[in-house]
Structure 1
Amino acid sequence: MIPWQLLDTATMPGGGELRLKRRGAEFSIMSGQIELMNSRLSSSEEALATKSCNRLGDRARPHMLIGGLGMGFTLRTALTGLGPDARVTVAELVPAVVAWARGPMAEIFGTSLTDPRVSIRETDVGDLIRSGAAAYDAILLDVDNGPEGLSRDANNELYGMGGLRAARTALRPGGILAVWSSAPAPAFTQRLREAGFSVDEIRVRANGTGGGARHVIWMAASPGAPALPRRPSRAP
């Protein structure tokens, strides 16, 4: 078996370290002994984007905020599901992750980082959420392994009542807050409802039809006019 090769390390703001590893064509990003993402397991992150795009329906000029660049699975899928008038802002706290996307993992990212609809912000997604009222049609969070600050303690603020209320304020009427998790968290489902969202909790496989662990996606709709379902495309 091909051994893992350590390509780079990065210090997290507030402490902690990320490690980028490669084994042949496979990449892994680790935090301590926990694998945050692997280039061979992308289905649930792709589902996060697909289900969010479907919930947005035919909104004109939708603006999507993605928290966490990672290996770009969510971003690339969102760009496929959104139209040419959409905007996608990606908040990535660790500059090295952006550098990895443009360097050793450039082949995985393809043209997604240069897509004219995309803006990469090297900042805390929480700061962007708190800075805008009715600024986004969808907010997608994939910055931890679940609704707790695994990668850094400060991320706990995103999933508490204060963070959820800030997200609701940042969303336009009927907008979507979508959160990825490696495991269920009933207390988080309850907090979403207490913050004023209507909630669907969806189980998805890590490796799509190939199986793998069951991950969780919360699709939480803010109050207001519901998003229209996407019209099916018609053959020419």
Structure 2
Amino acid sequence: MSQNYEELDFKKTPIGDLMLRRRRMFQLGDTDIYEVKLGEHYLMTSLFHESESQLARIGLDKTDHEELDIIVGGLGLGYTAAAALEDRHVKSLVIIEYLDAVIEWHQKHLVPLGKTLTEDSRCQIIQADFFAVSRDDTKSFNPEFPDKKYDVILLDIDHTPTHVLNQTNKHFYTEQGLSEFSRHLKKGAVFGLWADGAPEKAFCDHLAKVFSHSESHHIQFENPITGGSSEGTVYTAIRK
């Protein structure tokens, strides 16, 4: 029987104090809720994860490549990667996660999808800075295959293109940053990004200049905490 509140892990990291906790809410009965905080920011919750799943489903739906090599930027609680692995076309999936502690949560099965991801032979988790690698097309997201490019790259790390967890991430969301990043994709490959809130016009304009085709998909989903709905955006773009 779980406690009503339990701190499962706490670590100091280069970008703030990181906490994983499990709790229950009276109105939800015996449902265990897993939450991640970074400093004062709530990064994610298992209570609603439609956004992470929609990122994978919408992103993969945009490609016609038969066998898919995928990168997921940001591990979190694993919902984006798990949704992507449901697609039978996925041949390999590499998750790039900056924080060692988040990787450990999955390896130790402290979070609900830890076993799902770590026991899938197609899935590999690599500790690295997604944004640093994205700027350097002489390196691959997977050091074992330095020349490899990818069919789909899905990103869910920052809140939005303008509300970032670390100021060094801002470069990625510029026209130059996206241009550098695009060289990690195969021709005709897909980039997908989740962000909170409504689409941002400036970022849409950057995507349109770098990629051959881009779209923003407005997503609404139920929020059990507020009793209402929340919104977000999945941006998709196709490499020229």
Fold shared by both chains (TM-score > 0.5): yes
Q: Find out whether 1:141 has 2:144 as its counterpart.
A: no
Distance apart, 1:187 and its partner CA: 1.2
- 1:183 touches 1:215 (CA, 8 Å); kept in 2? yes
**C-alpha distance after superposition, 1:126-151 (max 9, x if no partner):** 24433246701111110111114622
Instruction: Give the aligned partner of residue 32 of structure 1.
Output: 39
Residue type at the aligned position of 1:11:
K
Distance apart, 1:30 and its partner CA: 1.1
More contact order relative to length (CA 8 Å, sep ≥ 6): 1
Residue type at the aligned position of 1:189:
C
CA distance, structure 2, for counterparts of residue 135 and residue 190 of structure 1: 25
TM-score (ref. length: structure 1): 0.83
Instruction: Give the aligned partner of residue 124 of structure 1.
Output: 129
Residue type at the aligned position of 2:17:
E
Query: Which runs of no fewer than 5 residues in structure 1 stay unpaired?
Result: 224-236
Distance apart, 1:194 and its partner CA: 2.2
Seen in structure 2, the aligned counterparts of structure 1 residues 163 and 11 have a Cα distance that, compared at 3 Å, is farther
- 1:176 touches 1:220 (CA, 8 Å); kept in 2? yes
- 2:51 touches 2:219 (CA, 8 Å); kept in 1? yes
Match of 2:105 among 88, 100, 106: 100
Q: Which moved more, 1:47-56 or 1:143-152?
A: 143-152
**C-alpha distance after superposition, 1:4-50 (max 9, x if no partner):** 4332223333x322211210410111122221100011111100001
SS at match of 1:56: coil
Instruction: Give the aligned partner of residue 209 of structure 2.
Output: 194
TM-score (ref. length: structure 2): 0.82
Query: Which runs of no fewer than 5 residues in structure 2 stay unpaired?
Result: 25-31, 141-146
- 1:148 touches 1:155 (CA, 8 Å); kept in 2? no
CA distance, structure 2, for counterparts of residue 56 and residue 103 of structure 1: 33
Q: Which moved more, 1:128-137 or 1:187-196?
A: 128-137
Instruction: Give the aligned partner of residue 18 of structure 1.
Output: 18
- Point out the structure with the larger strand share: 2
- Point out the structure with the larger helix share: 1
- 2:105 touches 2:114 (CA, 8 Å); kept in 1? no
Q: Find out whether 1:50 has 2:57 as its counterpart.
A: yes
CA distance, structure 1, for counterparts of residue 93 and residue 37 of structure 2: 26
Residue type at the aligned position of 1:35:
Y
